[in-house]
Every structure is written in structure tokens, then in C-alpha cells.
Structure 1
Amino acid sequence: MVRSNLQGKCSMKKLIGLSLLFTACASLPPAGPHAFVPPPTPATPLQVCWVDTGGVSVPGSYGAGGSTVAATWEVTSAALVIRHPEGDLVLDTGISPHASEEQRELGAWGRFIFSQTAGRNAPRRNLKDALSALGVTRPKALLLSHVHADHAGGVASLPDVPVWLATEEKQLIEAELEHPRGVALPAQARALKGRMVPIPFTAEPYANYDARFDVFGDGSVVVVPTFGHTPGSVATFVNVAPALRFVHVGDLINLRESIERNVGKSWLMRQLTDEDSARTQAEVAKLVQLHARDPELRILPAHDRQAFVELFGADAGEVPPCIGAPPESWRR
């Protein structure tokens, strides 16, 4: 056991050295020219709440390529509760409170990767307790940006709720159930079985994307495909108010500064977490293009805690912090 731990530490030191070497010239090539379709002005009242299920503090160089502005990367593994007059939607479900037990089913290499990524999260809020505090009794659906353990960790705690994810991500889970590779934790893959509903993308442009899924049919919540980090990873536009709009980009980037600096994630994090690094980098370039065309739109990386704090405020009370109109005001 001691020898194994020492080998793991040595391997990580080598990876960090390689990361610094390969991120010295990290700028992304520009995305190809693309038409831009301005999103419609939101008209439906929304409330959106941040559930910080876990997190960790690591050096900023883990988060983005090149020389980072952030000295530390404050990580959140978050769920977003989107409250709409037609129902409550949970976007990602954070890290499982039982993740340390669930990872034991992985092989040795899978456990090592988990220990250096999602497994480093210290637990914070329990998703089910947070939903109760918000008065959410039964969500309409769970929408996953992708199926990694720090995004699908709360699926098992809400067993009767359908899970929306891209067809490609559904196929990934089905393959994991047949021949586990450790892309998803086995317990979480089993919890998804029989509940997965493919997102019905339509070939209609939205912003600088060619396909979309309008969740409520009113432009308030719109999902677009951003495949690469995993085969079916997606981004979600949330239009809270005309002057309060953001796009949750999953793990395309880890720190928001990547957009201003035109870089992707660190080489280390790309190697450890991206299924298709080149395709992910192309999607990041598309985000840079989106920011240039729509600078008022906030880019929200799934694990950038500082970006969540700036949007929602500090998570310091019994009830998770929220933005937008509370549900009780909709009926006045």
C-alpha cells in the first residue's frame, strides 16, 4: 500500500511537470466563421439556485493552460436548481456523499484518476436536503451536462426522476454497463439504467450553435451540444432576465479566465478527464467566439466556485443562494 501510494505521487509529479511543459504555448486557434442568432428576450420568470455539494482548493495551474491569473482554483461540484412555472429542473447533481465508497468498484488506475480529480472533493451540501430546503418536492427532470462522478453523483438519491442527457451520453452509459471503463462510476451508471431520456435536439440555430433543445418551449432554458469532453457533453443557456443570462458550460473549461485568455484547460486536466481533447479544445474556441459576439452573457464553468459566488452570492445559509424571481411572486 505504501509503495503504491509513493508510485502514485511520483506519477502525479511527472504529470504536473509535463503539464507545465505542454501549456507554455497554450493559445487556441480561432473557431471557424459562424453566423450568430441572438437569443430572444426572456419573458418567463425563473429562479435559479446553486447547490454546492462539494469542493476543494488546488493550485490555479491545474485549472487553465499557460500562466494562470488565479493563484488557486477554488472548485465547486455544483447542482443548479432551475425553478420554472412549468416545473423544477435540476442541472447536474454534484458529487455523491457516498463517492468514497462508490469508487471502490473501479480498477487501480481508475481509483488513482478518481483520487486526483472528482475524489478530491470534500462534501458540503447534500442535494436532497438542499431541495427540501428550497421547497422542491419532485423535480420535472435531472439534466446532466455529462456523466462524470462530480456531475451525476446525486442521481441515485432521486430515483424516480427522469434523467435527460444527449443520445451519445446515454450510449456511453449503456457501454459502461456492459464493459466498465471507469468513465462513470459503476454505481451511478446502474442508477441511470432505465431512466435516461435522450435530449431531442432540433437543427435550429441558437447563438453560434447549429442545434438546440428548448426545454420549456419559451427560450428560458436552452441546451446545445458541445460534444468532446465526453461523447455527449452539453452546455445550457439559462435566461433569468434580460440583463441576467448565463451559459453553464460543464467541463469545457475549469476557470472562466480561459475565455479572456483564449486557452483551454491545463494539459494535465485534459489528459485526465477529456475523452476527446482536440474536439473539446474546438468547443472552447467556440465559447471564445460566443463571448466576443455576446459579451453580456456570463460563461459559467461547472467547477469555478468564484464564478458561482459572483453570480449567486456566498453560500452561507441554511437555504442555498438563489437569483431571479422566487416562485411565490409568480402568482401575485
Structure 2
Amino acid sequence: MGEYPVVTWNSYSHAQRRLPPKYRLAKDLPHELQDRVNALPQSYRDSPQAAALFEAMMDEAMDDELEAPPISIINEVTDEGAPPWEFVYTNQMWYGEGVPPPDIKNLVSCGCVGRCDPKAKTCGCAKRQHHHLKQYIDNGTIPKDWKGVYDGKGCLQWFGVPIFECNDFCGCDEDCPNRVVQRGRRYAVSIKRTESKGWGVFNGPKRIPKGSFIGTYAGELLTVEESDHRGTLYNKFGRTYLFDIDFHHIGADEATYSVDAYHAGNNHSCDPNCEINACYINEANIEKPLLTVFTKREVEPFEELSFSYMGNIDDDAAKNAKANNDAVYAECHCGSANCLGVLFS
């Protein structure tokens, strides 16, 4: 009688790595439900049923964060039943034309059993993280005795540095401390209509600690050439959610890729409580991180969640933005004490 082959995690993961990577194409972004609702009378779109349908749509889309609390729609300001129906809730990147698929063949993975130790010299993921943090350790931003980018509660300890999480081909458990983003959001949030800034994302009833993962700035992953083309059009009618992937650690003079989150977005603040950080999971290409949102300070119950659309700008940059003729620059209504008076609309 023939013997059955012995299957180990290493043999299984190696076989999976040889298969084509799974990813989503921007041309397949769902729109049937949105088209149907937009064809209905305004009276329906302003009804409570529309808000319930919108919530159900988001809940169904959260197939990659099954334990995340549901997202609620709240409007105590206008008669709108829900945000505009061009919105597609997603935590995924949708690859545009000309963007190569995820590079999993060159992806570094660990063979750890159980939970990874960030100080272990045998953990491939820890070594990759340490390699990319060396410059921050050398300049004193991160202490030499660092114990992982996350603390024991899964909170990010340093901002402005790349995050390298364990991936689908690693041998460690799903509760490994180096798997935070991929486990999804833990805190309840709502999409709420504001008086002067349209729809925004707000915290739920619990205080959120500093360094907590909130979500992904997701959308269409574009070549920078396509992004520039869209940006020219967006600037003229005053709305853009383009985010060039040009983090310092990538080292390139110009971005290669950009994310267009036209169909979704948090509100801006000149004094934001959230920050976007580059995170790598199932991608070896350093130019294609996930854009992950973490709280940069403690967030109070029901406080609005925001980040800066303008990046780190000063008063002179704000004055130049105000003088620009493009409609994409608008008056800021964030209400913070240090408001610069302008933002990308």
C-alpha cells in the first residue's frame, strides 16, 4: 500500500506561496446596490430604511474583520438618511490598471511556533522589522532595548515608522502580538453628519487608548501617473482623497503609487487625534504598504476621529494654499485652537 505524504506547515505554506496571489481589481468595485438606491426617489434615500440598508451594506463588507463592532449611521443635523451612495466600505486595496499584484514570492515570513518574540534572533519578521527600524534606533527615536512596535495591549508605540506584521505564510498563531492590523478594529465607531463638515467618523461610547488601530485608509491603488490625472480633475470641482505613498523609509524621490479613497474618508483636523502609518503584511514590495490609521493620543467617548489632510504644514504653507486657485483648497472648519484655516476639501 502507498503511503500518504506528510504535510507540515512549511510544506503547505511553500505550496501556497507558489499559487497566484489573491487581490481585488478596481474595475470590480461593487456598484449595483449603490446604482439601485440612487435610482430611487429622494424620499427613500432620506428615510430611516436607507440608513439601515447602509449599515447592513457596511456590515456585510466587513468579512475581513468579523469581530469588529458594527458601524452605525447617525444624523441629527439634516434630513439625509445616509451618506452619499457612491460610498463603498472596504478595508481592502483595489488594484488599478498598471499596478502589479502583491509580491508574495519575496515575502519574508517567520517559522515561529505560538507567539513571536520581537527580540528573537530566529524570527524572520522580527529581523525584518529591526532592519527597517535601525535608522530610528541609531538617531534615538526608538530605544535600543525596544520590544516590538506594539505593546502588550496591541497599541502602537512609535509613530512615523514602518510596521512589518507577520503574514499568511508565517508559522505563528493568529493571536501573535505582531498581528494587530490584520485582526481588525476593536472599537465601535459611527458615521455621523456634522454641522459644517459633512459626514465624519466618530468614536463610540468607550475611550480609545493612544496607539490603537482604527482602520485602513483604503480604496483604489493607482500608479502615480493615473493619480496625477485624477488629481487634475478633482482639483477643479473641489474634492480629493488621493494619498501619495511617499513615506520617508521608502527612500524614493517621488511616489510610485497612490491611494484614491474618493468613496470614503475621515474628516480633517489641524490638530488631529489620528495618524496614518505604513504597514506591511502580505506584500514584499516596499512601495506598496497598507495605509493604517492609529490614534496618536487618547480619544474621548463620542469624539470625532480625524487626521490632517495637509500633513505637517506651517503658516506660510497655509497662506500659499489659500492663494491657490484650485477648488480643492477650502476653508477649514475643524475648530481646533491651532486651526490653519485651510484644508484639502
Tell me if both proteins adopt one fold, taking TM over 0.5 as the criterion. no
TM-score, normalised by the number of residues in structure 2 = 0.27
What is the TM-score of this pair, normalised by structure 1? 0.27
Greater radius of gyration (CA): 2
Greater RCO, CA 8 A, separation 6+: 1
